[in-house]
Amino acid sequence: MSRAAVFPYRLPLKRPWVAAATTLTERRGALLRLTDEDGLEGWGDCAPLPSGGPVEPVIAALEAYCRRPASAEFHVLPPEARWAIETAQADLAAQRAGLPLWRHLGGASGQVMVNAALGPLDDDCAARATAALAQGHAIGKIKVGLDGVDAELARLHALVDATAGKLRLRLDANRAWNGADAARFLQAIAELPIDAVEEPLAQPTAAALAALQAGLPYAIAIDESLPNFGVDALIAARAVRRFVLKPARLGGIAATQAVATKAQAAGIEVVLTSVVDSAVGVAAAAHLAAALSPTLAHGLGTSVWLAADVAAPLPIIAGRMQLPDAPGLGLRLV
């Protein structure tokens, strides 16, 4: 029987994290610690995005579950709380097995390729992209849809020129565009080194996404719209070529494994990502990514945006996150 404790945190960002629907200046959440009868500690991260509603009720639900009677139901908890609980349990299980979590989950390599998190497509983005390329990153992720189409196309071309086309780009519009603007932007970048474009449509339908995807040489990806459509509907419509999975939003390790397995069986790529989570949340997602999708770059290089963290982030060398060989998550909390 494990003892549970919850530790709320507030982590300041070095600079604002800007997306179409929200701007973060700090990251709020809570760590869950499970301690077993042998004194081993398993950790999980519960960090709901403020765009999904107030953070406090989610943390309160996690705290209440930790005080629960045996009859309390796991499946009714908010997904971020379920992710924290499953992560802490998996951390403990891997430690008991004497294995790093990535190997305990079935992974074969302790390295995960990650994209550089370049922030918004502003006037300084080209400089950040050049720095990421110099650090060994092959792919950079950029938030778009924050300015007019023409202005962003001009900045994007300038960025490609600055990096000599050597950095492949993931663009995330966070459902910013109407159909006409999306089609114009996506066709205009068809000859650029684009890895994927996430969530281009403000009001997506499976048919509209499929029509966009059919005419493009790169992947359209679905992230926050995935729960609205459902995995089966998107697969049946052949709507997109990539799913972006946030384990915290999906509700944990098992839920993410289930979606990834179904998607990959249908030929859809799977990328895991975090949203400026603490080092515990990022590490957990990285261990899972190593097991589920070892050949793609994942959106886990966000720790550089935090001015303070709960543990030293996992190192990234030449664009690859180095996972610990120590049992479990392998983190030492500060």
The label of the residue with tokens 């030929």 reads 267
3-state helix, strand, coil in the chain (%, to 5): 35, 25, 35
Query: In this structure, what token pair is assigned to residue 319?
Result: 């664009």
Query: How many Å apart are CA 305 and CA 13, to the nearest integer?
Result: 6
Q: Positive or negative CA dihedral for 136, 304, 30, 311?
A: positive
Bridge partners (DSSP) of residue 143 are 120, 172
143 is catalytic: yes
Nearest to 324 by CA among 97, 109, 88, 34: 109
From 14, 141, 166, 246, the catalytic residue? 246
From 14, 141, 143, 166, the catalytic residue? 143
246 is catalytic: yes
Hey, what amino acid is at 288? L
Give CA angle at 304 (130, 281), nearest 5°: 135
Catalytically active residues, by annotation = 143, 246
